[in-house]
Copies of this chain bind each other. A is one copy, B any other.
């Protein structure tokens, strides 16, 4: 491993739970000896990626990361970053892929992509809001919220929604059949920010009459991969429990 990689791994030791770290902590957590650790931190500090604070001179992330993030956002807006993954998801599943974001308490369509295969497709509309109670995306998000009750309480069929949320917590993905639109079979996974908080959902909307166990397994496998990828592209992290669930799921089957 190169010196640069070592220095960048030190950056990764900072977290929301531990925003400030002393030199000894950094050395211990990284396995790098204290003198080398100090030299690497000094180089990171000289470029503003970390700074020292307080009487104990602990380190925390510096303001240079804000500038880099602003440039990244300008170069690759959120939506653009996800589009290649969304298009690939539509192609590999042969169905319609759909991406939504939580904005001010509502789930809003950010983008969608159609498969290029001929035949029946689920059509989407731009800038739609997705009802939490009737879509797989909605259930995927509700399953991740600390307090979904206010949103569950307004659902026409609370029992059905509660079951859907519980299933999503067990499976790692949510499912609806003909709830929002007739003959649409929806499957969705949640997306996350840097603090592991849910920020939206990624879904595949398939024509229900076409669904088979093989297609179902293929879609959930592709969805979880694509969900992890988009979360990563947005600088987010998947909560540990869900990441384990996704890894344990049957892998993609190229022979379906």
Interface residues of A (CB under 8 A from B): 2-5, 7-9, 11-12, 14-16, 19-20, 39-40, 43-44, 46-49, 60-76, 81, 193-195, 232-237
Minimal beta-carbon separation of A174 from chain B (angstroms): 25
* Neighbouring B residues of A195 by C-beta, 8 Å: 70, 74
Residues from chain B with Cβ under 8 Å of A8 in the complex = 43-44, 47, 49
Q: Which residues of B contact A72 (CB under 8 A)?
A: 60-63, 65-66
Specify which chain B residues have a CB less than 8 angstroms from the CB of A70 in the assembled complex: 69, 193-195, 235
* Cβ 8 A contact of A4, one of B4, B62, B74, B194: B4
A-B contact pairs, 13 of them (CB 8 A): A4-B4, A5-B43, A5-B47, A14-B68, A19-B71, A49-B68, A60-B76, A61-B71, A66-B69, A68-B68, A69-B70, A70-B195, A74-B195
Chain B residue numbers with a CB within 8 Å of A14 are: 68, 71, 75
* Those 6 A-B pairs whose CB atoms lie nearest each other, nearest first: A66-B235, A69-B69, A19-B75, A70-B194, A4-B43, A67-B235
Name the prevailing secondary structure of the A interface residues. Answer: helix
Task: Report copies per complex.
Answer: 2
Residue in contact with A75 in the complex, picked from B5, B60, B235, CB distance below 8 Å: B60
Compute how far the CA of A67 lies from the CA of B44 in the bound complex, rounded to whole angstroms: 17
**A40-B4 in contact (CB<8A):** yes
Residue in B2, B19, B76 whose CB lies within 8 Å of A74: B19
Complexed CA–CA distance, A40 and B235 (Å): 22
What is the bound-complex CA distance between A11 and B68, given in angstroms? 8
Cα separation A254 to B11 with both chains bound (whole Å): 39
Q: How far, in Å, is A212 (CB) from chain B's closest CB?
A: 35
User: Closest CB of chain B to A255's CB: distance in Å?
Assistant: 31
Q: Judging by beta carbons under 8 Å apart, are B236 and A67 in contact? A: yes
Are A234 and B66 in contact, CB atoms less than 8 angstroms apart? Answer: yes
Residues of chain B contacted by A63 (CB below 8 angstroms): 72, 81, 232-235
Residue in chain B with minimal CB distance to A72: B61
In the assembled complex, the Cα of A7 lies from the Cα of B43 at a distance in Å of 10
Please measure, in the bound complex, the distance between the C-alpha atom of A66 and the C-alpha atom of B68, giving whole angstroms. 8
For residue A7, which residues in chain B have a CB less than 8 angstroms away from its CB? 4, 7
Closest to A67 in B: B235
Asked if B68 and A65 sit within 8 Å, CB to CB, the answer is yes
Determine the chain B residues whose CB is within 8 A of the CB of A3 once the complex forms: 2-4
A73 vs chain B, min Cβ distance (A): 7
